[in-house]
Copies of this chain bind each other. A is one copy, B any other.
């Protein structure tokens, strides 16, 4: 079996890396995992999984139910998770603005944060329509194939941007960018016009329009987007939605302390290069 070089990077302590995988595995399967299931899912030797689970349990990161001999996430994870929530000022600040935006078009509004090469959905307001998107709060998608991700990437300093770009663009739909060149062109276009477009690049038949959110230091920290089935977001509507999304994003940025821009010219958006 050809093991992936995943755990082979530099300065990676393998026991830690693999144990964290166990933790994530337990979380993703909603608890109720038995030892052998964990062993199978992670590909670890049964004995090794056993020791990891014991260690994780000792620290409170997983909880062992002695009745069913199953493992689930522990309270310490919840505890730490709350601490992260407390740090996410964007979320509270953005919520009321997102609500307005949702009501304006009655379409799903998303708030996303860049984490590594993926964006994480941090908040999401559903549209009234029955047809809803697949994404969920806490879920992830590649940054390069979503309007949220592209909105953030486009306004990142080049050096940082490179860090968040994958070496290989695996196409998620027929419309996903497959070359770094095409993606870079897309990014500079979004930077020019101030918002990002996703025409079914991440999910078939789904259209998204996203705009970046800046904090007081002038760097992108998040993005918001309106997403809907292509049928409900025809080309004629896009300018109006894009303007609204950008407006909302600017409002959030200002409330985060981002210095207001006097000029409202829509192509003149620049991030401060100095820090």
Contact = CB atoms under 8 A, between A and B. Distances in A.
A41 interface: no
Interface stretch (A82-90, A197-205, A245-253): A82-90
A261 B147 CA distance: 55
Copies of this chain per assembly: 2
A120 B77 contact: no
A77 B80 contact: yes
Contacts of A5: none
Q: Is the interface of A mostly helix, strand, loop or mixed?
A: helix
24 contacts: A8-B58, A11-B50, A11-B51, A12-B51, A12-B54, A12-B58, A13-B19, A13-B55, A16-B19, A17-B58, A23-B80, A27-B83, A30-B83, A60-B115, A60-B116, A63-B115, A75-B113, A75-B120, A79-B81, A79-B138, A79-B140, A80-B81, A81-B84, A81-B85
A55 B20 contact: yes
Interface residues of A, number: 55
Contacts of A82: 81, 137-138
